Amino acid sequence: MTISLKVKFFLAALLTVLFTISYAFTVLRGQNTMAALLRENLPRSQAILHSAMELKHAVVLYDDLIFRYIATSDAQLLEDIPQAKEKAKYHIENLKKLSPGKVVVELLEDLLKESDAYFADAQKLISSGPNASIPSEKESILKMIEWARSVPRQQTRLVLLSSGGRARLAKLYSLCDRICDLSKQDIQNLQVQSTETSRSSRSIILWSGAIITAASLLLTIMLALSVLTPLHRLLGGIKKVIDGDLSFEIPPTGNDEVGKLTQSFNHMTRQLKEKEDRLVKETITDALTGAYNFRYFQEVLKAETERARRYKRPLSVLMLDIDHFKNYNDTHGHEMGNVLLKHLTQTIRENIRPSDVLARYGGEEFVVLLPDSDDVQGKLVAERLRETIFSADFPGQETQPEGTITVSMGGTSSSVLLSSARDLVLKADKSLYKAKQDGRNRVEWSATGK
C-alpha cells in the first residue's frame, strides 16, 4: 500500500504528539504517585505527632493545676482542672482515630489505662487536699486536737498519692514521647520514600524522554529518507537529461507525490526522446523517400573511409540513377514520380544489408555505401539490385521505353591509396556516367587502383 506524503507528514505529526503526550503522562504519573504518597500519609503522621504533643501538654497542664490547687486552695482552679482533663481525653480519642499502626494502637491502649489510673489518683489528691480545713479559734479544743492528729495521716496519704501520680505521669510522658518518636519516624520514612519515588520517577522520566527522543529522531530520519532519497534520484536524472541522456529513466518507488513526480519525469524524458529521435530522423533523412539525405551520407562516408584506412578494410560506393525518369514524370506527373521514388527506395532497402547505408543523392539519383565490401562483393550487390529493379512491378512502368523501370549504376571500391572520401564519390559518379553513355540498364564498376 502506498502512503502519500501528506499522510506521512500527518502520521509523523500524530506520532510526535502521541510521544509528547506519553512523556507528559509519564511525568504527571510520577508526580501524582509522589503527591498521593504524601497526601495519604504525611497529614496523618503530622496529625498524630501534633495530637501526641498536645496530649502531653494537656497532661502537664492538668498536673500543674492539681498541685497548684493543693498548694493554694484556689477554688477557681477547680473549674480549670476538668477542662484540662477533657482536653487530654480529646487528644487520646483523636489519636485512636488517627493511628492505624499496630504498635501505636498498643501504645494507645497502655496510654489509655495509665491516663485513667492517673486521672483517678489525681481525683483522690483533689479530694484529700484542702477540704480538711484548719478549725477556727471558736471551735472546741477536741476538734483542734483531732485535726492535729489527722494532719500527719493526710500528709502521708498525699505523699503516697503524689508519688504514684508522678510515676504514672512519667509513664504518660514516656508513652507520648514514644508515639511522637514513631510519628517522627513515619514522617522520616515518608521523606525517604518520597525521595526514592522521586528518584525512580526521574529515572523513568529520563528513560522515557530518551526513548521518545530516539523514536522521534528515527521517525524523522525515516521520513526524510522516504522523501530525500527519491528526490536525490530525481535530481540525478535531471542532471543526466541536462547532459543529453534522454534515455535515462528513474524506477518509481511508490505512488505518492514523489512517485508521481518520478513518473511524470519519465514520461517527459520519453516524450523528449521521441521528439529528439524524430528531429534527428528529419535532420538526416530525405522527407520524401525516407532514405538518408546527402549531408548525412557525407558524414558517414567520411567516417567509414577513415575506418577502412585505419583497419585496412574494403569499402564500396554504389551510385544509381533511374533511366528515363523525366519521361515518367512527363507521362504520369510528379505525384506518380514521387510514388515511384518511394517504391524504388523500399526495393533497394530490402535488398541490402542493415549495415549498408542508402541515401538520396539528388533528384532520381541514389547512393549506397557498402562497408567491408571489395570490388567483387560490391559489383555482385550492384548487379543483384539492377536485376531486382528490372523485374519488379512499379506503377506506370509500361510507359517506359523498356516497358519496365530500369536503373543505371556506377560503383567503386576504396584502396589504401585513396586520399579522401571525395575520391570514392567522384569515381562512382564517373562510372555511373559511363553506364548511361553505354546504353543504360547496366552496371559500370571502377576497380580498386584504377
Phi, psi torsion values for 231, nearest 5 degrees: -65, -35
Indicate if the pLDDT at residue 334 is higher than 80. Answer: yes
Distances (CA, A) of 112 to 3, 90, 98: 77, 12, 15
Three-state secondary-structure class, residue 243: coil
Phi, psi torsion values for 22, nearest 5 degrees: -60, -40
**84/94 Cα distance (integer angstroms):** 15
Indicate if the pLDDT at residue 346 is higher than 90. Answer: yes
Per-residue confidence at 142, pLDDT binned at 50, 70, 90? low
More confident residue, 260 or 57: 57
Q: Which residues contact 299 (CB under 8 A, 6 or more apart)?
A: none
Q: What cell does 373 get? A: 565490401
Indicate if the pLDDT at residue 423 is higher than 80. Answer: yes
Domain boundaries, the chain: 5-214, 244-284, 288-446
Burial 140-157 (b: 16+ CB within 10 A, else e): eeeeeeeeeeeeeeeeee
pTM here is 0.51
Which stretches of 228-344 are assigned E, i.e. beta strand?
A: 315-322
Domain 288-446 has CATH 3.30.70.270: yes
Closest CA to 431 of 327, 325, 321, 322: 321
Q: What cell does 250 get? A: 528513474
With residue 144 as reference, give the H or E element that holds it: helix 141-242
Phi, psi torsion values for 358, nearest 5 degrees: -105, 130
**Euclidean distance between the first and the last CA atom of the chain, given in angstroms as a whole number:** 74
**93/168 Cα distance (integer angstroms):** 19
Distances (CA, A) of 223 to 43, 58, 150, 217, 227: 52, 73, 106, 10, 6
If one counts every other C-beta atom within 10 angstroms of the C-beta of residue 347, the result is 16
Report pLDDT for 153: 46
Find which of 9-23, 30-44, 93-107, 360-374 is predicted with most confidence, using mean pLDDT: 360-374
Q: Which fold has domain 5-214?
A: de novo design (two linked rop proteins) (1.20.1440)
Per-residue confidence at 151, pLDDT binned at 50, 70, 90? very low
Indicate if the pLDDT at residue 206 is higher than 60. Answer: yes
**Sheet with 357-362: strands ordered across:** 357-362, 365-371, 315-322, 407-413, 443-446
Cα 302 off chain centre by? 59
